[in-house]
Amino acid sequence: MPPRIQIAINSTGPPRPLRPPPFAFPDPCHADAEGPVAWGGDFAPGTIIEAYRCGIFPWPHPQEERLWFSPDPRAVIPLNGLHISRRLARTIAQQRFRVTLNAAFERVLHGCAGREGGTWITPAYQRAYLRLHELGRAHSFETWTAEGALAGGLYGVHLGGLFGAESMFHSARDASKVAMAAMVQHCGEVGVSLIDVQLLTPHLERMGAVEIPREDYLRRLYEVRDLPIRFCGTGTPDARES
C-alpha cells in the first residue's frame, strides 16, 4: 500500500452546462488504429467534451490543428496498477512536495506546453482547455517545493467516471510522478474508475500504464461516462444541455 498523499483541493464549483456541438463525431469503432477519426470542427467546450464522450480526443499536428484521434490500442492506468518505486514511496512519505488540486491550472498547462515534446499543445488548444477548467470540466494536480515553487504537475478532463490525463511536466525529480500518484489516489476516492492516458510511452509503462483494445476501452467508457461523479468540491453532478 503506497503512502497516502495529502491533497489540498481548490474547488472549481459545479460543472457548468455546455452547448452541444452542431456536428456529430463518427463512431470510432472501425476507424484507423493510428490515424485521425475526424478533421476540422472547433475547440468549443461542448465539442471537446462530446469528443471524450465518444472515446475521441484532440491532438493537434503541424499540418492541421483540429485533428481528432481514437487510437487502438488505448493506454490506461488501472486504479490498483500504479507502480510506486521505493524511492517514490519515500518521497511521498517524507512529503517532499506539497500537492494541490486546481491551484494553478494555467501554469501547469503552460509547463506542459513548454516541455520537450509539448509543441502539440498549441495556443488555441491552451485557450480551449483553460476554458474547460473555468467551466469545471478540466483539472490540474500540482506539486510544490518547500519554498513554494511549482515543481511539476499534470492536467486532464473529467467526465463521469472518466479522467482523461492529457500531459504532465516537472522541473524537479519525481515531481510529476507524485502528481500522477495523487491523481490516481484522488480518482479512486471520488469514484472515477477509468483513467485514460491515451498512448503508451516507456515512462507511463514504468508507472503501471497498460494497453487495452479500443473496443474494451469504449465499452468501459460507455459504462461510466454518465455517472454523477463530482471531481472536487460540492454542488450538483455534471450537467449537460440537451
Q: Which residues of the chain have pLDDT under 50?
A: 234-242
- pLDDT value of position 239: 36
- pLDDT value of position 235: 35
Q: How far apart are CA 218 and CA 206, in angstroms?
A: 24
> What is the distance in angstroms between the CA of the first residue and the CA of the last residue of the chain?
43
- 73-224 CATH choice from 3.40.630.70, 3.40.50.150, 3.40.50.620, 3.40.80.10: 3.40.630.70
- pLDDT value of position 236: 34
The structural domains of the chain, with segments of one domain joined by +, span 73-224
Residue with the three cell numbers 518505486: 85
Q: How far apart are CA 226 and CA 205, in angstroms?
A: 28
pTM of the model: 0.94
Residue with the three cell numbers 515534446: 117
Q: What confidence tens digit (pLDDT) does each residue in 136-174 have?
A: 999 999 999 999 999 999 999 999 999 999 999 999 999
- pLDDT value of position 30: 86
Contact call for residues 37 and 69 (beta carbons, < 8 A): yes
List the Cα angle 122/78/102 in 5-degree steps: 45
Helix (H) or strand (E) holding 193: none
- pLDDT value of position 241: 30
- pLDDT value of position 69: 97
